[in-house]
Structure 1
């Protein structure tokens, strides 16, 4: 018997935008526990590779949707704040809960990278969210994470200390000027001398829109959302992540939740794994592209960890 998950397009509205994605479910009758994917930074969202099929095989329905201005969705992701992204996530959760084939009391979030911050924030505002899984979701604030990323990613890609310091200065200047009321287009133009530098594309802000976005979220602190979290949390990291300070994130998440009396949180660090929890295959010379190893494959045990953890925490059976 061939396993063929069932896919259906789903659209919902948030903040005047129409968001469009795919619900993938098992081929057998429901209702099912469900997962909503919370995408990281930048455009995209609907393409989660094999993950939705993997979850369907384990008995879950899942929704992955195009971020505003990506794919079939309207709007502009670069104009969103963290709070706006969290409200959008809750709108996606409501759309999934409204389906007859979904157990409305068994909907979880999986947030990747920046989506980890968003998932914490969304779940802290809705105590009906059953569980949260974050994959390389920072436990530190945006400004600290971005500075860590520039230092480590640029060094790994062969740039020296002078280039790294200049990139940090540009990042800080972008944030300071825009937060002081300067026009992002003026800030971008003022940095024109550096636009052709080989490291410039690795900045978070390389256009007026992306400069405005990073300045708007730069002061976000995840601690209050973490302290308010009540559902179970699984936080996964790769030990060799160049984009997120793993040790600092694990400390921050663990200490904040412990101090808040949170009863069910687990942090797992995969040795030798990158930001995408992939490990170098050992076949041919290793390359580092956008903080990720190439060639690489998913760290052994990663898929099984998420699936079994969710199965133990999401109620299955008559709706709640």
Structure 2
């Protein structure tokens, strides 16, 4: 495996990343990494994307991961991006790879995690002829608003707060949501919150700032279901059963219904037991057994290079 430091332009922003290339001349099938939320560099929070990137490259896939705008060596500002902006950026990354002689332009797909699970389906529906497959990891079938409410409830319940405290935290979130729906600026919304709220023990779970509220306003009620029904490329969607960010089984069931309703011919949904949002087991750095191999086995089946009798995916709730 070798690496190539690369960059491509998105408007006036220079997006910098690393392309991990398998051994051999190619052209190689390729994967574009689609990040989750926040200020994420090319290797993910605390380097959590390194094993994923390395595994893809070792399995024969050129793998591009880049710093989000304004992070690392990339210019721009990720907090100015809507999902439409992120999808346009992702498509430019795909087209950048397609222009390289060492990449097979007919076999470029997306690997997306968390918030990227809203971005990747949007990208794939923008240019269905250019996206060969989509892998969604910890992707929400809920709106960002619904997911945030679920996470708030789950974390407060897990940490022993009373139903009364949870209700008060939810009320704060609901008031902010109403303010965003009315088009109010984040600073104005927060200015109406009593200062004593910050002293409540549950408040850190829903604490935010005006910049974050302005960032989430245009994406807060984004519904991915219509996009899932329009996807035409093969889809693999993966969750950890112990993900506190979202209800994994509910999301899997929603995606299954969306894809079945669209009579999608090629999709697989998998929930790994005891795994968290990043597919780690029991709050350790160990990834769920079989997770990495299952992805590349699924890809090899899509490309027709794997024997039908090859090792089946590890046990999980499909």
Whole-angstrom distance in 2 between the partners of 1:242 and 1:64: 26
1:148 pairs with 140, 147, 150, which one?
150
Whole-angstrom distance in 1 between the partners of 2:73 and 2:304: 32
Could you say if the C-alpha distance between residues 159 and 311 of structure 1 is closer, same or farther in structure 2, counting changes exceeding 3 Å? Answer: same
Residue ranges of structure 1 left out of the alignment (5+ in a row): 281-292
Asked if residue 20 in structure 1 is aligned to residue 22 in structure 2, the reply is no
Contact 1:233 1:264 in 2 (8 A): yes
2:51 counterpart residue number: 50
2:313 counterpart residue number: none
Asked if residue 120 in structure 1 is aligned to residue 121 in structure 2, the reply is yes
1:167 pairs with 158, 166, 169, which one?
169
More contact order relative to length (CA 8 Å, sep ≥ 6) = 1
- The two structures, once aligned, show a CA RMSD in angstroms of 1.8
Contact 1:107 1:131 in 2 (8 A): yes
What secondary structure sits across from 2:281 in the alignment? strand
1:194 pairs with 184, 193, 197, which one?
197
Q: CA deviation at 1:269?
A: 0.7
What secondary structure sits across from 1:228 in the alignment? coil
Instruction: Write out per-residue CA displacement over residues 182-237 of structure 1, whole angstroms, 9 at most, x where no aligned residue.
Output: 1211223333443454544433x612111112222111000111111000000001
What secondary structure sits across from 1:87 in the alignment? helix
Could you say if the C-alpha distance between residues 64 and 198 of structure 1 is closer, same or farther in structure 2, counting changes exceeding 3 Å? Answer: farther
Q: TM-score, normalised by structure 2?
A: 0.88
Q: TM-score, normalised by structure 1?
A: 0.88
Asked if residue 298 in structure 1 is aligned to residue 283 in structure 2, the reply is no
Instruction: Write out per-residue CA displacement over residues 216-268 of structure 1, whole angstroms, 9 at most, x where no aligned residue.
Output: 21110001111110000000011111111212211111111111111001100
Q: CA deviation at 1:297?
A: 1.6
Whole-angstrom distance in 2 between the partners of 1:118 and 1:275: 17
Residue ranges of structure 2 left out of the alignment (5+ in a row): 44-48, 306-318
Asked if residue 307 in structure 1 is aligned to residue 289 in structure 2, the reply is no
1:216 counterpart residue number: 218
Whole-angstrom distance in 1 between the partners of 2:138 and 2:286: 16
1:82 counterpart residue number: 83
Aligned length: 298
